[in-house]
Amino acid sequence: MTAIGVGRTRVPLRTFYVGMLVLLYLPIAVLFIFSFGTGTTLSFPLSGLTLDWYAEVLDNGAMIDAARNSLVVGVAAATTATAIGCLVAVAVLRFRFRGRGLLLALAGLPLVVPFVVMGVAFFLLFVTVDLPRSLVTVAIGHSVIGVPYATLIVLARLSGLDPALEDAAMDLGATYPSALRRVVVPLMAPTLLSAWLTCFIVSFDEIALAIFLVGGDPTFPVFLYGQLRFAQRLPVLIAMAVLLMLGTVALTLIALRIRGRDD
């Protein structure tokens, strides 16, 4: 079926889907194609094909250092955000107290606040408390924006977990923290790993917040953005961007596969 009727209007589904796929994947396809071109200008037809740009990625020390910075920040931010998100989910679902809705709203607030606004706010905060901008400040900011993702993922899984399991553990003499550690966490390990990977991806790819918070050691997206001013370095940057895209897609698929198995 190529169209459906909505009232008296025919909606061309095939055209809509084709247009959507083109808008989503054509830029990625163009990026992938140019990463193999021998020329330093982005124009068709390609003058030739080569893998030299991918080889030069490994020889670019500054780029590797920036990727390492993003890796360190991503691990720290994902770990912190997953821990906070897990605690928020447990508090909201397993306890009854005034302000539960407010707590959940605050945990999800970074999803609706523009990252640029958050970047300015964090910048002013760190200047006020005299905390120099560094990878630490970037990790703090990325931890905050990762909390909503971790909270929602853990919340969805924890809501389907029978509270009687925790009650049974406490009936056998375990404290509630011990019941969480010995019963809930092992059962939710795939979900926690999925939440961690999601937060890591969000942190590794984020740039708007990092620009305001980074110091002398740039994260990879910040480094990539700064190098766009130099045309002769563009092919190497495109090759690195393709590798980053492939890594992000791989981690996303792993997170989705883990979450699907846990469900």
Q: Name the phi and psi angles at 141, rounded to 5.
A: -60, -40
Per-residue pLDDT, 1: 45
Contact 154, 93 (CB under 8 A): no
- Could you tell me which residue, 233 or 184, shows the higher pLDDT? 184
Q: What span, in angstroms and rounded, lies between the C-alpha atoms of 93 and 107?
A: 14
Report residue 207: phi and psi, to 5°.
-130, -35
Q: Range with the lowest mean pLDDT among 36-45, 82-91, 244-253?
A: 36-45
pLDDT band at 208 (very low <50, low <70, confident <90, very high): confident
The CATH code that applies to domain 52-262 is 1.10.3720.10
118 SS3 class: helix
Q: Averaged over 132-155, what is the pLDDT?
A: 91
Is 148 in contact with 105 (CB distance < 8 Å)?
no
- CA separation for the pair 96, 244 (Å, rounded): 43
- d(Cα 170, Cα 161) in Å, to the nearest integer? 16
First CA to last CA across the chain, in angstroms? 32
What's phi and psi for 164, nearest 5 deg?
Answer: -65, -25
Vertex 243 angle, CA 240 and 244, to 5°: 85
For 184, counting Cβ atoms within 10 Å of its Cβ (0-12 exposed, 13-18 middle, 19+ buried), the class is buried
Q: For residue range 60-100, what is the model confidence (pLDDT) as tens digits?
A: 778 788 888 999 999 999 999 999 999 999 888 888 888 88
The residue-averaged pLDDT of 33-59 equals 71
C-beta of residue 117 within 8 angstroms of C-beta of residue 55? no
pLDDT at 162 over 70: yes
Model pLDDT for residues 95-106, shown as the tens digit of each residue = 888 888 888 888
Look at residues 94, 225, 87 and name the one whose alpha carbon lies nearest to residue 143.
87
Cα 37 from Cα 236, distance rounded (Å): 11
> Higher pLDDT residue, 227 or 209?
209
- Predicted pLDDT at 5: 52
Domain limits, the chain: 52-262
- Tally Cβ neighbours within 10 Å of residue 229: 8
Instruction: Return the minimum-mean-pLDDT range out of 10-14, 176-180, 199-203, 259-263.
Output: 259-263
Judge contact between 118 and 110, C-beta under 8 A.
Answer: yes
Residue 148 has pLDDT above 90, yes or no: yes
Q: Answer whether residue 9 shows pLDDT above 60.
A: no
Q: How far is CA 107 from CA 81, 102, 210, 249, in A?
A: 10, 9, 20, 26
